Structure 1
Amino acid sequence: MMMKTMMRRNTWLAILMVVLMCSCKKSARSEVKINDDKKPVAAASFRVMGYLREYNVVDGRAIQFDFSKITHLNIAFINPDAAGNFTTLNGLTELVAAAHAKNVKVLASIGGGLAPEYYTDLMSTGDKRNKLANSLAAVADQYNLDGIDIDLEGHFVDGNYEAFVIAVKAALKPKGKLLTTAIATVYATQYTDKALAQFDFINIMSYDKTGPWKPERPGQHSPYSMAVDDLDYWGGTRGIAKEKLSLGLPFYGYGFGSGVPEDMSFADILKQYPGSADKDEVTVAAGGTMYYNGVPTIKSKTTLALQKAGGIMVWQLLQDDAGSNSLLNTIDALVKAAKK
């Protein structure tokens, strides 16, 4: 009896050990599977924002855009008149509906590199700032926009800028609308920390280091090194969380010297100079050179942004090539691979 009892006990112990071992293996396999399937937080929420021009809303080109490869769309530029009043933009309601159907958020961008000079006056006093801020909130409501993007540069970032963005934030926040900005590092010292804290995210214009306005300084206007320096400055020196930063990429180039246009879209560069997709510059027989970002550089910058930022920003979407060398397709492929 004792021998049989011991044998039974040993048998049950053996079975129990097998069950425990199988359970541990199953648990380990489950844990590995969960970890493998888990998407990195940064990649899962990574933004791909692009700008389209307001006149392309009116002419219908904007609504024909494939929204599936972006997360946010800025319409540039929707500016008021000198009194701070906005006029109707035909086609914007339909564009917003089409974008929303693809889960893309749409914002109205104000200002621009050639912003109307009267912005200085519109931001000059509390009453004027509040009027403009409330008008912007009303525009967001009128077109069912998801927010407002402020692209004011140079002398517009003055002593009234901080108070203005605070007023816009106060007008938008109760409505659940976004407030974003496009900034250039060349004006870095003009942006106060308090002003920057108002924005949900910040698009770094990491381009236009030089251009036709500086013919004496020919060269690459958007080198990879500039992207590195810009992200290091805003994320490091200024301490802005990387999730709030979007790295700006150009879909255009600038020409210097004889035989090249002053500026060209990436699509036109490929048409004019066959075989240029994988380069960053093309020198023509007359001696001039066209500088831009080709596919390899866009890949490198997108990889950098996935590591050190929360998104990509593109100026501007309709300058892209529609064929196999599409820069947006290049970005999309890398972002989707990072999410797997």
Structure 2
Amino acid sequence: MRQLLKCLALFFLTAGSFCLHAQSAKPRLVEYLPNYKGLAWSSYASSINFTKMTHMNLAFGNPPKCSGVCTAASDMTFSIKGQTDADVDAAITAAHAAGVKVVLSIGGGGGDQLILQFYNAGLSQQLTDSLDRYVQAHKIDGIDVDIEDPSNMGAPFLTFVNTLVAKFRPQGKLITAAVAQYLQGSMPSAALHQFDFINVMVYSSLAASNTALQYYLNECHVPKDQIVLGVPFFGSTAGDDKEEDYKTIFGAYPNAWRVDLAGGGLLDDGKAFHYASEETMKQETLLGRQYGGIMVWEMMGDAPAPHSLLSVILNNL
């Protein structure tokens, strides 16, 4: 009998250890759904490939710009520009049906001014209460903080993050962030370590991706499985003065999937675009798999089969 109990104990210990390992080893696949492509999400929802996707980030939800100085009486109602409530709900319903968590990304390049105008005015609580009403109305699973203005990421930013955590974490909602090395010197460490995981924006090369992941692991001391590598479904010029979707680049240069640089043709007067080829995307996916997974900016930028970058990710994640 004693031997049987010992065997059972060993079995459950081993099984439990396996389950924990299996759960922690599963990489995330976070994909951003943008609002600026002129396409209603209700129409697009049925074409989304949810295979292996774990999180769909709606980009971006923001309040209006204040008329003059922001006060507690200012309009803080959140919305996603260009999408109706029905459009938003259609995308969320499709994601939830596939078992995917839906996260509202707030701020964004330029849009971050609509967030920081309130927290810089000491209105973090009021803004968070308004955000909570939007989250509850649309059954959203979490918030992704995307502030990309290093001059506005000090103590008021920390207060805002703390307020978000106090409001949403007891509800079981996720609090994540889009981060980058060039921003990190301005973000309080106490804010960085509040997030459930971070999406690292590094879209230039495999070497830069490795450097950024090592930075967050070794210098910022973020747990490895909480660091998600961002990869691009777009290309940019050397001076970052122009961007094009990967599908647009591929349409202009049919062999673009082979290399990381294309140009000299009719697209944008022959400008050369740097992007991730299929082989580079494979290597970046394998790198992200060693950490917390892969984040895609953004899902509408992919090329069609047989040269879909998402297919490369799915085959290697």
CA–CA distance in structure 1, aligned partners of residues 35 and 86 of structure 2 = 10
- The CA distance in 2 between the partners of 1:134 and 1:281, in whole Å, is 46
CA distance in 1: counterparts of 2:184 and 2:19, whole angstroms: 37
- Aligned counterpart, 1:291: 274
Q: Does 1:175 align with 2:150?
A: no
1:163-184 per-position Cα deviation (integer Å, ceiling 9, x unaligned): 1001011110121111110011
User: In 2, distance between residues paired with 1:120 and 1:264?
Assistant: 28
- Check 1:76–1:118 CA distance in 2 against 1; reply closer, same or farther (3 A cut): closer
- CA displacement at 1:38 relative to structure 2: 8.0
8 Å CA contact 1:205, 1:249 repeated in 2: yes
Partner of 2:182: 186
- Matched with 2:27 is 46
Aligned match of 2:295? 313
Asked whether 1:166 is paired with 2:147, we answer no
Query: What one-letter code is carried by the residue in structure 2 that aligns with 1:53?
Result: P
C-alpha deviation, 1:251, in angstroms: 0.4
Within 5 Å, give how 1:215-294 maps onto structure 2. 222-255=204-237, 262-284=242-264, 288-294=271-277
CA RMSD of aligned residues (A): 2.4
Indicate conservation of the 8 Å contact 1:122/1:132, yes or no.
yes
Match of 1:334 in 2: 316
Task: Give the 3-state SS of the residue equivalent to 1:74 in structure 2.
Answer: strand
Secondary structure of the structure 2 residue equivalent to 1:49: strand
1:250 Cα deviation from its structure 2 partner = 0.5
Aligned length: 282
Cα shift at 1:227? 0.3
Is contact 1:57-1:63 (8 Å) kept?
no
Tell me the equivalent position of 1:300. Answer: 283
CA–CA separation in structure 2 for the residues paired with 1:85 and 1:114: 18
Structure 1 residue 68 displacement after superposition? 2.0
Alpha-carbon spacing, 1:116–1:43, altered in 2? closer, same or farther (3 Å): closer
- 1:75 paired with 2:58, answer yes
Q: What is the deviation of 1:197? A: 1.7
Question: Equivalent residue for 2:126?
Answer: 131
Superposed displacement of residue 125, structure 1: 4.5
TM-score w.r.t. length of structure 2: 0.82
Q: Which residue of 1 aligns with 2:91?
A: 95
CA distance in 1, matches of 2:53, 2:315: 12
Unaligned stretches of 5+ in structure 1?
A: 1-29, 208-221, 336-340
Greater shift after overlay, 278-287 or 101-110?
278-287
**1:270-313, Cα deviation, whole Å (9 max, x unpaired):** 11001110210013167642211110011111111112x11110
Runs of at least 5 residues in structure 2 that lack an aligned partner in the other structure: 1-10, 66-74
| Paired residues of 1:69 and 1:328 also in contact (CA < 8 A) | no
Q: Percent identity?
A: 32
1:14-29 to 2 correspondence within 5 Å? none
Q: CA distance change for structure 1 residues 151 and 272 in 2, over 3 Å: closer, same or farther?
A: same
Structure 2 counterpart SS, 1:67: coil
- Preserved CA contact (<8 Å) 2:198 2:226: yes
| AA at the equivalent of 2:127 | L
**Offset of 1:159 from its aligned partner?**
2.6
- 1:61 partner SS: helix
- Paired residues of 1:136 and 1:148 also in contact (CA < 8 A): no
Structure 1, 137-146 or 232-241: larger mean CA deviation: 137-146
- Judged with a 3 Å threshold, the aligned counterparts in structure 2 of structure 1 residues 192 and 322 are, in CA distance, closer, same or farther, namely same
Q: In structure 2, what is the Cα distance between the partners aligned to 1:287 and 1:68?
A: 36
Distance (whole Å) between structure 2 residues aligned to residue 84 and residue 137 of structure 1: 11
What SS does the aligned partner of 1:117 have?
helix
- Alignment partner for residue 306 of structure 2, among 308, 313, 324? 324
In 1, Cα distance between equivalents of 2:106 and 2:216: 22
Amino acid paired to 1:153: E
**Residue 284 to residue 80, structure 1, CA distance change in 2 (3 Å):** same
Runs of 4+ off more than 6 Å = none
Alpha-carbon distance between aligned partners in 2 of 1:42 and 1:188, rounded to the nearest angstrom: 29
Q: Give the superposition deviation at 1:43.
A: 7.0
Aligned partner of 2:105 in structure 1 is 109
Residues 15-62 of structure 1: CA distance to partner in whole angstroms, max 9, x if unpaired? xxxxxxxxxxxxxxx9xxx9xx98964774210000011354446224
